[in-house]
């Protein structure tokens, strides 16, 4: 019985290894072609797209940044379980096993084909897996069965129970060795393919030798922020590496800037197409803009402030000649993902732009290289299309976009909000002089006042940090003499139109969270 179990496990392992070799070599192939053609990634993306909004909300809330690794992990675990079962089936019915394994590979192929920008060449990695997986399964199963057959020889010769014929022994040993060598070599191969794939993706992701063009009228250097004086307050400018990232991609699109274009079409007088160099050669501008994600909870981290370099969106649209029917800009990214933005936000004079730089550096791949939309005052999902390749002037009653199809609000201005960065919620701090500090934002209106309340007392006005315009957040602090015990701290902001941050608690869905942040800290 024990031996049977061990054999079953060996065959299950053969199934898993066959699947893993197929998928990892396919992944390496995809890394060399285009990451979107990786069957493993395509399945993950298909699952993301098919997940209903409430589940997605729950995942982002409960799993946070871990949601993607957990998703990939569960797809992997499911695949491994199936592959193990197939390995066991193959032990006695090899052909059926091979067919089932091919089926397991074809499932992700459907996800590859259903991508909006699908090209026939995307099927190459799947074909690789389709050939390799079953081949490895056949090879390993045969090796295992051969080993077992030779193991059986002595049992079929009961007249010699204690004497192992030297021939049978060495045959058994050598077939065992073959199996071990086969397993080892294949494991190494798939590990090398996986690591190699990752290295290829990383090296392709590096953006070589690109500098930002000179800006026509550079902004003055950003003022020194409060973070220099008070530990724990978010820095005035969010460093690119710390800037939050939110998108539906499992693999960051690798876009080649020489073949990339930006097209303006739809309800325009003339369709226009710009190359990356066209954008770089135009007069570039700089704007300080704080980006916010609609999924940001009160007190959350999905907000970042940067100096963006690029060309004014309005200029591009005016060159194309906006028709009089359009009320929406439907922007499409290089993989077909769409965002809808109210046309008015592009034309009403705010600093909407096609950005190619962030904080003095060429846009990174994860933040949208070669170019993205940035529209101050609107949540990212309605105005910050990364890897943008097309702007279609259309109408809300004719075309919808990815998130609005999933019932998120069509027009979504960022709600004014404020956050306590220090002290940290639920932290223990020593008694004595300290500061309460953080950031507040009210894009398009500007922050006028931040107030802090300690233990339900009166609202006290905080000091504000430097001002970089209405679209940029303000840092704030309030000196505080912390007495031993437990304390409740709250913050609220008022914008320059006199609007006070709402106390109504709202979840991010469907148009952004609201309510004031209240935290508890222990002193002493
Ligand atoms: N192509 C593309 N652009 C996108 C998204 C996306 O999923 N795909 N997500 C949007 C959302 S929800 C936000 S909040 C911002 C985040 O931009 P960042 O990742 O540079 O911070 O990008 C927006 N642009
Ligand atoms: Mo977002």
The 3-state secondary structure of 343-377, one letter per residue: HHHHHCCCCCEEEEEECCEECCHHHCCCCEEECCC
> Which stretches of 282-421 are DSSP H helices?
313-320, 343-347
Q: Are 68 and 250 in contact (CB under 8 A)?
A: yes
Report the pLDDT value the prediction gives residue 161, as an integer from 0 to 100. Answer: 43
Residues 417-523, CATH architecture: Sandwich (2.60)
The parts of the chain modelled with pLDDT lower than 70 are 1-4, 53, 56-69, 72, 115-117, 149-173
Instruction: Report strand pairing: 272-275 vs 285-292.
Output: unpaired
Question: Which residue ranges make up each domain of the chain?
Answer: 2-155+168-205, 226-406, 417-523
Q: Which ligand gives the minimal distance to the CA of 304?
A: 1
Return the ligand 1 atom nearest residue 243 CA: 21
CA of 295 to the centre of ligand 2 (A): 6
Task: Name residues whose C-beta falls within 8 Å of residue 390's C-beta, 6 or more positions apart in sequence.
Answer: 262, 263, 264, 265, 331, 332
Model pTM above 0.85? no
Tens digit of each residue's pLDDT (9 = 90 or more) over 456-469: 999 999 999 999 99
Question: Helix, strand, or coil here: 172?
Answer: helix
Q: What is the pLDDT of residue 46?
A: 72
Q: Tokens in use for 382?
A: 């309605």
Closest CA to 491 of 444, 440, 441: 440
Q: Which one of the ligands is nearest to 292 CA?
A: 1
For helices 39-50 and 2-33, angle between their N-to-C axes, nearest 10 degrees: 90
Q: Which residue, by CA, sits nearest to atom 6 of ligand 1? A: 247
At 142, list the tokens: 């045969």
CA of 68 to the centre of ligand 2 (A): 15
Residues near ligand 1 (Cβ within 6 A): 243-248, 291, 293, 333, 337, 367, 380-381, 384-387
Q: Which residues surround ligand 2, an ion (CB under 5 A)?
A: 246, 293-294, 380-381
The DSSP secondary structure of 428-460, one letter per residue, reads: EE-SEEEEEEEEEE-TTT-EEEEEEEETT--EE
At 160 the pLDDT is 43
Helix (H, G, I), strand (E, B) or coil at 462: coil
pLDDT tens for residues 85-101? 999 999 989 999 999 98
Atom of ligand 1 nearest to the CA of 334: 1
Q: What angle do CA 457, 459, 460 make, to 5 degrees?
A: 110
- pLDDT for the residue numbered 163: 45
Ligand nearest to the CA of 303: 1
Query: Which of 386, 387, 389 is the pocket-test mutation for ligand 1 (most atoms within 8 Å of CB)?
Result: 386
- The number of beta carbons lying within 10 Å of the beta carbon of residue 48 is 16
Among protein residues, the one with the nearest Cα to ligand 1's atom 24 is 385
State the distance from the centre of ligand 1 to the C-alpha of 225, rounded, in angstroms.
Answer: 26
**Residue 48 phi, psi (nearest 5):** -55, -45
User: Which CATH architecture fits 226-406?
Assistant: Alpha-Beta Complex (3.90)
Residue minimizing CA distance to atom 21 of ligand 1: 245
Question: Starting at the edge strand that comes first in sequence, how are the strands of the sheet with 428-429 ordered?
Answer: 428-429, 517-523, 485-495, 447-454, 459-461
Q: Give distance in angstroms: CA of 293 to centre of ligand 2.
A: 3
Which atom from ligand 1 is nearest to the alpha carbon of 388?
1
| Residue to substitute in 381, 390, 441 for testing ligand 1 pocket (most ligand atoms within 8 angstroms of CB) | 381
Q: Whose CA is nearest to atom 5 of ligand 1?
A: 247
Q: Report the C-alpha gap between 133 and 250 in whole angstroms.
A: 23
Mutate to test the pocket of ligand 1, among 362, 380, 387, 388 (most ligand atoms within 8 A of CB): 380
Q: How far apart are CA 294 and CA 443, in angstroms?
A: 14
What pLDDT does residue 221 have? 95
**C-alpha distances in Å from residue 131, one per residue of 78, 118, 345:** 21, 21, 52
Q: Which atom of ligand 1 is nearest to the CA of 373?
A: 24
Tokens 């710390």 belong to which residue? 242
Cα of 134 from ligand 1 centre, angstroms: 39
Q: Which residues contact 470 (CB under 8 A, 6 or more apart)?
A: 442, 443, 444, 445, 446, 496
């Amino acid at each position: 019985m024990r031996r049977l179990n061990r054999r079953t496990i060996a065959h299950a392992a053969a199934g898993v290894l066959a699947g893993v070799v197929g998928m990892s070599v396919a992944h390496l192939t995809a890394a060399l072609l285009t990451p979107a053609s990786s069957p493993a990634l395509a399945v993950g993306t298909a699952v993301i797209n098919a997940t209903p909004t409430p589940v997605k909300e729950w995942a982002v809330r409960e799993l946070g940044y871990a949601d993607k690794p957990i998703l990939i992990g569960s797809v992997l675990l499911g695949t491994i379980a199936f592959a193990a079962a197939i390995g066991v089936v193959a032990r006695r019915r090899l052909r059926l096993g091979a067919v089932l394994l091919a089926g397991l590979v074809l499932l992700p192929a459907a996800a590859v084909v259903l991508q909006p920008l699908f090209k026939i060449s995307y099927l190459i990695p799947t074909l690789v897996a389709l050939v390799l997986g079953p081949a490895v399964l056949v090879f390993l199963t045969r090796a295992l069965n051969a080993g077992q057959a030779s193991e059986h020889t002595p049992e079929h010769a009961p007249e010699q129970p204690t004497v192992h014929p030297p021939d049978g022994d060495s045959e058994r040993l050598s077939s065992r060795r073959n199996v071990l060598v086969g397993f080892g070599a294949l494991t190494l191969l798939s590990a090398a393919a996986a690591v190699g794939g990752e290295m290829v993706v990383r090296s392709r992701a590096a953006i070589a030798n690109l500098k930002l063009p000179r800006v026509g009228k550079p902004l003055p250097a950003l003022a020194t922020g409060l973070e220099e004086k008070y530990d724990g307050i978010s820095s005035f400018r969010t460093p690119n590496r710390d800037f939050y990232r939110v998108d539906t991609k499992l693999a960051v699109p690798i876009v080649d800037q020489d073949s990339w274009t930006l097209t303006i079409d739809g309800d325009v007088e003339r369709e226009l197409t710009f190359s990356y160099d066209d954008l770089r050669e135009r007069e570039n501008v700089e704007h300080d803009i704080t980006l916010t994600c609609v999924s940001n909870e009160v007190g959350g981290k999905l907000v970042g402030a940067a100096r963006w370099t690029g060309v004014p969106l309005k200029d591009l649209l005016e060159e194309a000649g906006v028709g009089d029917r359009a009320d929406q800009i439907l922007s499409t990214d290089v993989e077909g993902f769409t965002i809808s933005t109210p046309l008015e936000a592009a034309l009403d004079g705010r600093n909407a732009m096609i950005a190619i730089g962030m904080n003095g550096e060429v846009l990174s791949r994860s933040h949208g290289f070669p170019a993205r939309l940035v529209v101050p005052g609107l949540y990212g999902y309605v105005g910050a299309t990364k890897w943008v390749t097309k702007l279609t002037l259309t109408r809300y009653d004719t075309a919808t976009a990815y998130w609005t199809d999933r019932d998120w609000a069509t027009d979504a201005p960022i709600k004014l909000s404020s956050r306590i960065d220090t002290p940290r919620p639920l932290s223990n701090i020593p008694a004595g002089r300290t500061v309460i500090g953080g950031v507040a934002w009210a894009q398009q209106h500007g922050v006028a006042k931040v107030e802090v309340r300690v233990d339900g007392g009166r609202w006290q006005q905080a000091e504000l940090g430097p001002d970089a315009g209405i679209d940029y957040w303000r840092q704030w602090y309030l000196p505080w003499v912390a007495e031993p015990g437990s304390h409740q701290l709250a913050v609220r902001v008022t914008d320059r139109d006199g609007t006070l941050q709402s106390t109504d608690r709202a979840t991010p869905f469907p148009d952004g969270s609201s309510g004031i942040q209240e935290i508890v800290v222990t002193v002493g």
